[in-house]
Structure 1
Amino acid sequence: MYTQKFYPDNSTLLRSIIFICAGLFFTVSAWALSTDKDQPIEIEANSADLDDEKGVTIYR
C-alpha cells in the first residue's frame, strides 16, 4: 500500500504563518474590557521626574 506524504510548499507555509500571526494580532484587543480605558492607573515609585515641555514623566 502506497501512502503519500504531504509536504506544503513555501508559499502555503508562509501564507499559514501570516494568517496565524494576523489572527493573534487582532485578537489581542479582545483580551481587554471596553471599560479598561477609563480605569485609573496605579504606579508605585520612589521618585518621579516630570518634563512639562515634552509631556513626559519618568518614574523610578
Structure 2
Amino acid sequence: MKYLMTLLINNTLPLPAVYKDHPLQGSWKGYRDAHVEPDWILIYKLTDKLLRFERTGTHAALFG
C-alpha cells in the first residue's frame, strides 16, 4: 500500500493497470478506488490541490 500511496502523492497518473483504479459511483461519487490486493482497496479523492486518503479495507467491509 505504501508504494501505491507514494505514486498518488507524487501524482504518478495514470496508475499502473495492476491497481485497477476507477471512479466510484453512488454515495462515493467523486472518489476513486485502487486495488492494493485483489480484495483490499484504497478509496481516495484527488482534486487540483488535495489528495485525501479516505478509507481502506475489503470490498465487503467498505461497500457492505
Per the normalisation by structure 1, the TM-score is 0.18
The structure carrying a bigger helix percent of its residues is 1
Query: If each structure's strand is expressed as a fraction of its own residues, which one has the higher value?
Result: 2
Q: Relative contact order, CA 8 A, sep 6+: which one is greater?
A: 2
TM-score, structure 2 length as denominator? 0.18
